[in-house]
Structure 1
């Protein structure tokens, strides 16, 4: 992990002393988080690579690291997170009710979710698409071969609607989705043979396949049937908190771009420059000027987070694909930090 500050994150200047954001309300989410001393973050109940509690109690995954990045910025401590694992159908409930400050739970950004609930999506954490996990010996090569068959889906996701749309547009017999309440139950429904396939975001399927007794007896079909921009969500009643979370995400992408542009051997200097550029805007966000350095010390760049949790280093080996920087053919575009 890159170190941008001489002192550890816990020794950084206390963010609570930073000036208030311009024009903010008397009490903001940031105030509440600081008074509590912890960030309340909704995550999944356990999907390897995204958010899962390990045997030693640690939460790992891309979504978990995004929550740590926000905690590092707001509280000066990336470990100051209270994890709120939720079933897919309940991922926004705790956020809307005020029990959570942030939802990072492989949640797809859709118009319906943002229009129908008092939430805003602060930014995309992972570009994905729904796909199918099937047994390698099933002979299934294409989604069309699943027409009319039982497939396992997680309740509360967009899977059933995506399946109906994809098969309907092609005039195929609809698949028969079987909904399960939790990821564990869904995986069990597939593993038992009750369902011939498991439908979920392809990135999440990589983690689910790894949890099976014989992972390499199963494979993920190449074709995706939907667009699934997974995103971090906050309530819509606090633009200052929304802005803070959005810029933590932007920083992670922009810092990777800075390091790429600087070239081999110049990563440390490039990340320090990115942290300084973003850091000077900290007071306007209600933070101190060390916030960006703390974030990058805690999690590294977006590329580091992806590699650690989903890339080759994770054992999952999920190609970055659309999650590459735009300069490498992906969709992550670095918003300027100056």
Structure 2
């Protein structure tokens, strides 16, 4: 049975965003590849592209975003306080966070795992070799708990040294005060690239946790939750459409994806051109990843689990029909 929606969905959040003329999005204070403010003042990264996709759908302009850089410990607080409509700040989706406050996670933006940045001349090849060493940690993240769980289960231990911001954590590691820097491996690629001599450092191949980074919204507006969730899903579904269409049919596939998703716009409180705007602004998930984390970004982070399920990854496209 098909359910028809004659009137646009009511969503106070969407009304507020349109009335302001901009989406308020919480991002990190600066991690290359995820959310970083350039010298020209423009924010770039995978997380910021997700925010632009939402703004393109909701406001009609992907650049209509008020960026709210936040420390790791405070990334969800603006949602609870009503001072932001979206958090895309490399936040790991956990049960504790999902049940600990009035927020909902709309979907995974990047599948990751915590790893270690070490000096290339340290001789350290495996996490076990860090037993007894000091490790730089961003406060407000899951890192300290992950370290305790991973090392404790092996009868080993490290000393986590917490710093308040990404910049302070990287500086603490770079100063030599800590032997390693623990963070999501995707984020570490950006942190490594910002060091004066990136080649003097490397990321260990072993991940010690599962870190599904996800976008989040307030829990009091189910229509806004649904809108953001479908913007995210559109990016993955459009990539699948392009893959299925085959070489030389990209534009045709994108147009089909925009048409399939666009007709559901009124049920989301949007017009029927919302999906076309999103894809014109950001491209597919593959485009977003390649631009910010792939070879084109200079970071060269392999997609791995962030591939489509058809290529052995975890991103699964929910049908647009």
| 1:19 positional shift | 4.8
Q: Residue 68 of structure 2 aligns with which residue? A: 84
d(CA) in 2 for partners of 1:229 and 1:79? Answer: 26
Residue 25 of structure 2 corresponds to residue 41 of structure 1: yes
Q: Residue 104 of structure 2 aligns with which residue? A: 120
Counterpart pick for 2:59 among 47, 66, 75: 75
Q: Residue 212 of structure 1 aligns with which residue? A: 195
Residue 146 of structure 2 corresponds to residue 162 of structure 1: yes
Q: Residue 330 of structure 1 aligns with which residue? A: 313
| 1:20 positional shift | 2.5
Residue 168 of structure 2 corresponds to residue 180 of structure 1: no
Gaps in structure 2 of 5+ consecutive residues: 1-5
Q: Residue 245 of structure 1 aligns with which residue? A: 228
Give the root-mean-square deviation of aligned CA atoms: 0.8
Q: Residue 15 of structure 2 aligns with which residue? A: 31
Q: Is the 8 A contact 1:19 1:288 kept in 2?
A: no
Gaps in structure 1 of 5+ consecutive residues: 1-17
d(CA) in 2 for partners of 1:217 and 1:146? Answer: 18
Q: Is the 8 A contact 1:89 1:157 kept in 2?
A: yes
| TM-score for both structures, normalised by structure 1 | 0.93
Q: What are the equivalent positions in structure 2 for 1:166-315 lying under 5 Å apart? A: 166-172=150-156, 174-315=157-298
Residue 44 of structure 2 corresponds to residue 56 of structure 1: no
d(CA) in 1 for partners of 2:316 and 2:269? Answer: 25
d(CA) in 1 for partners of 2:7 and 2:160? Answer: 52
d(CA) in 1 for partners of 2:101 and 2:59? Answer: 27
The 3-state SS of whatever aligns with 2:30 is coil
d(CA) in 1 for partners of 2:291 and 2:163? Answer: 29
Q: Residue 83 of structure 2 aligns with which residue? A: 99
d(CA) in 2 for partners of 1:132 and 1:19? Answer: 51
> Residues 283-331 of structure 1: CA distance to partner in whole angstroms, max 9, x if unpaired?
0000000000000000000000000000000000000000000000000
| Structure 1 residue runs of 4 or more that deviate by more than 3 Å after TM superposition | none
Q: Is the 8 A contact 1:132 1:202 kept in 2?
A: yes
| 1:170 positional shift | 1.1
| TM-score for both structures, normalised by structure 2 | 0.98
d(CA) in 2 for partners of 1:178 and 1:170? Answer: 20
Residue 135 of structure 2 corresponds to residue 135 of structure 1: no
